[in-house]
Chain A
Amino acid sequence: MESASSAFRNFETALAEQLPALTPNAAAVEADRCLYCYDAPCTRACPTHIDIPRFIKKIATRNLRGSAETIFASNLLGATCARVCPVQELCEGACVLGADHKPIAIGRLQRYAMDSAREHGNYPTANATPTGRSIAVIGAGPAGLSCAGELARLGHAATIFEARDLPGGLSTYGIIALREPMEIALEEARMIERMGVEIKTGLELGTNISLDGLRREFEAVVLCVGLGSTPALGIMGEEAVVDGLAFIEASKTNGIRLHVGRNVIVIGAGNTAVDCATIAKRLGAERVTMVYRRTEREMSCYEHEYDFARKEGIDFRFLCHPLRVVLEGGLPAGLECLRVELGSPDASGRPAPVPVRGSEFVLAADQIIKAVGQKKPSLAAQLGLETAKGFITVEASFQTSIPGVYAIGDCIRVSGAASTVMAVQDGKLAAAAIHQQFARLEPPAKGHRREGDERPAPVEVS
C-alpha cells in the first residue's frame, strides 16, 4: 500500500535545498544594504570571525573571487556554514540593522559567494613551503576538515582517517538535505583534498587503526571524533524505534527507499528531532508529532527551527514522558506516555520533568523515531583520555591528557552548543596551536620516523 500521499511525492523536490540561491541582483541589493561597520559585531559573533563586512563589500563591488577568499581566510567550510549556521544566534543576530530594521542576510550572501567559488573553482590553495611535519586527523567532519586544511595551509602534511565511507561527518550524513545537500559537504571535502590533505575513508580508530600506531607514524594526532550514537530510551519496544540520525542519513543516502510511516512520532526536541520530523512530513507522513518531556521553553532546538517546524505543520506534544512502544504484530502501533509536570531544576539547569502517576495515555503512531541527543564519545575511555562529563578534556591548545594528541569539535564541547562553525574554529585554532608547538621543537628530521614506524621513509626526489 502506498503510504506517501502528500504533495511531496517527488523525493528530489521534497528535500531540495529550502532557500533558493540569491540571484545576482538580490545579492547586490542586499550587499549594498550592508553598512560596512568597523570592527563589526557580526564578525565578532561569528565563531570563526569571518570578516563579514569585507566579504559583503566585495560582493557589492562584484569582486566575487575576493569575497570567497575573504571567507576562506577565516573559515574553510564557508559553504557548509552558510547553510547550517544558526545565523540568528550569531552574525545576523548581532547585525546593527537588526534593532529597528532587518539584519543583513549574511548567511545567504555567504552562500552566494561560496556558490560562485564552487562554480568557478576559486578555492584556496596551500602553497606554504612544506615543513616535513605530518599530522593524523581522526574524523573527516567539519572539525577534521577544517583542521587538516589549516594545517596544509601552514605547510604541514595532514592525513585524515575517516571511519565512514564518505567524508563530511554530520554535514554529509546528519543534516537534513533541505538545509545542506550532501553534494555541498562532499565538494567541500574534495576542496580540502586539493589543498594537499589525504582523506582515507573506512578506517576507524580502535577498529582498524590504533592510536599508538598513529603516534608512531605522525608527529601529532588530532581527534575529531564527534559524539556517539543516540542513547537508548530504556523503554519497552525500543527495538521498533528508528534512530533519528540513521533516519536522516537514510534520507540523504537512500531517500527513495526510506520507509516513512503515516503517523509518525519523533521523540526529542533538538535540531535533529526537527530535521527528522521535517523529513517524515515532507516524505509523506500524514501526521508528525514531536513528543517532548518538557515545554517549548526548554526545547534545545533553535527558536527559528521551532518556528520552521510549526510552519511545516508538525504537531507538538509537550510534557509527555515516553513509557513504552505499543506493538502490534511486532510493528509500532503507538507510544504510551505519562503526563509530566515540571519540578525543580535538574543537572542541566532546566526544570526536571516529574511524571504524574496514573496519567498513562497512548499516542497512536506507526513509526517512532528517537532524536534525544548523542552519547558521549566512547573512544575517550578506550584511549584512556581524561574526560569531563564524558567529553574529552583539553588544554587551551586543544591538547588532551596525552601529549601530542589533540581533540576538537563536538567531542570536547563540554559547555555551549555544539555546532559546525564552532568545530571549524576549533580546527583552525588547533592547527595554529600545533604549528606553534612545532615551531618550539627542533626542525623535523628528514623523512620523520619514530621507532616502530612501519611506513617507509619518503624517498627524496632529486
Chain B
Amino acid sequence: MADLRINFAGIKSPNPFWLASAPPTNSAAQIHRAFEAGWGGAVWKTIGAPVLNVSNRYGAWHFGRQRMLAINNVELISDRPIETNLREIAEVKRAWPDRAVIVSAMVEAKPEAWREIIERIQDTGADGIELNYGCPHGMSERGMGSAIGQVPEYCEQITRWVMESASIPVIMKLTPNITNIVLPARAGVAAGANALSLINTINSIVGVDLDTLELTPSIAGKGGRGGYAGPAVKPIALNMLAALGTDEIVSKSGLPISAMGGIATWADAAEFLLLGASSLQVCTAVMHYGFRIIEDLCDGLSNWMDEKGFKTIADVSGHSLHRVSEFKHFDLSYRAVARIDADKCIKCDLCYVACNDAAHQCIDLISAQGALVEPFRYDARSNGKREAVEMRPQPAVREEDCVGCRLCYNVCPVDNCISMVAVPSGRGEVTWNELSQQQAPVTEDWETMKAYRERMGIRIH
C-alpha cells in the first residue's frame, strides 16, 4: 500500500489532504470531527482583523442536475473572537499531534499588526502559517486579501515582515485574480517564504435571478463580486500550478506547493500531485458532502498509486511537469484521427452534429448497406421502433478528412467508444519554433505557407 505521508516544508501529516481555510475549518468542534474522519491537516479559517458577515453569503453554479459545480461566496475571514480561535487552535493541536494544523492569517498591511498575529499564532503550537493574500471580496476593499495578492511588491513586503518574526513554516497563498501567477510566486521566493499555496477563489458573479431580476444570491436586493471555487475551477487551478512548476525561478527555489481549486475526488488530487503539488487542500467538496469524503480521497489515491507503482507522494509530485510545454514546441507533424467503435456506438449522433456544425465535417452517416445517408430523410409515414432502430445509420469518421480535433471524442456519451488514434503523417517531426527558425518565410507569408503545405502534403479542407 502506498505511503501517503507528507513532510511539507517541515509540516508533517499522515496524508496529503488538508482542509482549506474556509467554513469547514471555522471551529475546533468541526476540525475534531474532520480529524476523526481522517483528514491529514487543516488550515484554520483565516483569523485577523475584526469583521461582520452578511446573510445569503454563498451562491452556487449548478449545471444540469449537478448541484454546486462551483460555489461563490462573500463570506469574510473568521468572525469569531480572535481569542476564541487562538484558544481552540491550541486545543486542537494538543489533541491531534500527528495532524497538520496551519493557521491562515490576514491583518492590515502594517508590520506590527503582522508581527503580533504571527506571534500569537506561534503561541498556539500550530504547525504553520498561511498568509491569506487572496480573499477577493470584502477584505480586499479594506486593503487586505487579494488587494495584496495582486501586487507582487506588496506580497514581498508583507512576507518579509512575517518572515522576520516567524519561527514556524510560512506558506504564502496566491490569488488567481492576476494576469501572471508567476510574479507573486516569485515575490514569495524573494521574501523567503517557506512554501506557496494556490489557488484562492476567483472573482465571480454567480448569476441573476430571472424572477426578481436581482443578482443571486441577493443580499437585501444587492449582490456583487464573490470568490468562486469548486469543480469548475479545477482546470484554472491546474494551469496556475503548472505555471509555477515550470517557472525557472519558482521551481529552482524548491518551495513546495500546496494546491487547491476544485479537488473533489482522488483522481483530481492525483492530477494536482502530478503537476507539482505536494500537499492538497479541499473545501467545496466538503461543503457539499461533508468530511466523510476523505475516506475515498485516501483510498482511491492509494489504490491508484499502487496500480501505477508510486510508493510515496513525493514520487508522484511533479511527475508530469516535464510534459507541460507550449504550442510552439508541439510537433506539427503529429497526426491523430478519431475512430468510432461501432460495437460500442449507441448512434446518438452527437459526434455527427458536433463535427458537422462545429468542426470539420468529416463524420458520415452510413446505412447498413454502406450508403451515405443524410439525416432526417425518412418518410413521414415511417414509424415504430424496429424501423427507427434498424434503419438508423452508423456514424463513421472519414479519416482522410479528419483533422484530429477531438471534438467528437469529447461529446461522445459512451466511454471508450471514440478513440483518438495516432496515424503516420509521413512528415518528419517539426515544431513551430523550429519552422520559424529554419524556414522563417513559411511562418510569415501565406503564399510561402501554401507552397510549404503542398510540399509537405498538408491538406486543409
Question: Which residues of A are at the interface with B, using a C-beta cutoff of 8 A?
Answer: 28-29, 32, 35-42, 44-47, 49, 60, 88-91, 93-94, 96-97, 99-100, 422, 425, 429
- Does B65 reach chain A (CB closer than 8 Å)? yes
In the complex, chain A residues whose CB is within 8 Å of the CB of B389:
41, 45, 93-94
Residue of A with least CB distance to B356 = A38
- Does B347 reach chain A (CB closer than 8 Å)? yes
The distance in angstroms between the C-alpha atoms of A360 and B375, with both chains bound, is: 58
The distance in angstroms between the C-alpha atoms of A37 and B349, with both chains bound, is: 6
Residue of A with least CB distance to B349 = A38
- Evaluate whether A32 and B349 lie within 8 angstroms (CB atoms) in the complex, with A89-B384, A90-B384, A94-B385 already known: no
Q: Are A38 and B382 in contact (CB under 8 A)?
A: no
Q: Are B385 and A90 in contact (CB under 8 A)?
A: yes
In the complex, chain B residues whose CB is within 8 Å of the CB of A429:
380-381
The distance in angstroms between the C-alpha atoms of A32 and B347, with both chains bound, is: 18
Q: Are A422 and B346 in contact (CB under 8 A)?
A: no
Residue of A with least CB distance to B354 = A38
Which applies to chain B's interface (DSSP): helix, strand, loop or mixed? loop
- Evaluate whether A44 and B382 lie within 8 angstroms (CB atoms) in the complex, with A37-B349, A38-B348, A39-B375 already known: yes
Q: Are B387 and A38 in contact (CB under 8 A)?
A: no
Residue of B with least CB distance to A421 = B383
- Does B64 reach chain A (CB closer than 8 Å)? yes
- Does B446 reach chain A (CB closer than 8 Å)? no
By size class, the interface of chain B is: 20 to 34
In the complex, chain B residues whose CB is within 8 Å of the CB of A425:
380-381, 383
The distance in angstroms between the C-alpha atoms of A142 and B378, with both chains bound, is: 24
Residue of B with least CB distance to A33 = B65
Q: Are B380 and A49 in contact (CB under 8 A)?
A: yes
Of the candidates A35, A40, A45, A100, which one forms a contact with B387 in the assembled complex, judged by CB atoms under 8 Å apart? A45
Q: Are B388 and A94 in contact (CB under 8 A)?
A: yes
Contact residues of B between 38 and 72, Cβ < 8 Å to A = 64-65
Residue of A with least CB distance to B377 = A39
Closest 7 pairs (CB-CB, A-B): A93-B385, A45-B388, A39-B375, A47-B383, A38-B353, A94-B388, A38-B349
- Does B456 reach chain A (CB closer than 8 Å)? no
In the complex, chain B residues whose CB is within 8 Å of the CB of A60:
64
- Evaluate whether A37 and B376 lie within 8 angstroms (CB atoms) in the complex, with A29-B65, A32-B65, A45-B383 already known: no
Residue of A with least CB distance to B393 = A39
In the complex, chain B residues whose CB is within 8 Å of the CB of A32:
64-65
Residue of A with least CB distance to B413 = A35
**27 examples of A-B residue contacts, CB within 8 angstroms:** A29-B65, A32-B64, A36-B350, A37-B347, A37-B350, A38-B348, A38-B350, A38-B353, A38-B375, A39-B376, A41-B392, A44-B378, A44-B383, A44-B392, A45-B383, A45-B389, A47-B381, A47-B384, A89-B384, A90-B383, A90-B384, A90-B385, A94-B388, A96-B346, A100-B346, A425-B381, A429-B381
- Does B114 reach chain A (CB closer than 8 Å)? no
Of the candidates B348, B375, B381, B392, which one forms a contact with A35 in the assembled complex, judged by CB atoms under 8 Å apart? B348
- Evaluate whether A89 and B385 lie within 8 angstroms (CB atoms) in the complex, with A49-B380, A96-B347 already known: yes
Contact with A along B309-349 (1 / 0, CB 8 A): 00000000000000000000000000000000000001111
